[in-house]
Structure 1
Amino acid sequence: MKTHSTIEERVEYGIEAIPEDQMVTVSLRDLKYVHALLGEFVSFFHQSAHTETLDQVRSFVGNKDAGALHVLWEAYYQRMSRMVAPLALQHDDGRFDHPLPPDFYEGRS
């Protein structure tokens, strides 16, 4: 029996419940911010030479105050929350929460 979900499964879970023609209005500035963030992640992780050591990854990721994690928090908690506001009530009911934990939870407390 499967005990964990993959990143692909978690991202796609429940998404089919959203009608393809349902739209939201977003700020072009916020959309560009999120797009640029995703581009930076792609740029960093597409080259294995960037992730040869844990120190390289830690330096890129940073923390909530600086680095990729800082920008990610801004994108997720500030900018994206405005974009997906119409889904907020649906999200609160767990409809988009995969029932299995991610595999990185293994052995963590």
Structure 2
Amino acid sequence: MNAAPQEITSLVGREVYSNNGVFVGEIEDVRLDLDARSVTGLALAELNHELFAGRVDGNTGVILPYRWVRAVGDVVLINDVIERLDTGSEEEEPEIGQSAQST
């Protein structure tokens, strides 16, 4: 993604949904690869507590790999892989940490 800086910062605050319409969370920050000049992840807060039940507590955020993003508009759509977290699939899981801030 070769987005201009204003485009990257405009992601903050947008809601993230799976392509099946399930609310995932709200973008709090972005993870950047400065050498490649690309976005590599989205740090989410205000998570869907049902979706992440048993995985994160109220003060924890997650970082989703940017390759899961399908579309960016008024909201961000990601692959439905997030809904299959507890199936034991071999897909890469989101990173879970005490702070979603990553830059």
TM over 0.5: no
**TM bracket, shorter-chain basis:** under 0.3
> Please, what TM-score do these two structures have when normalized by structure 2?
0.22
Higher helix share: 1
Looking at secondary structure, tell me which structure has more strand per residue. 2
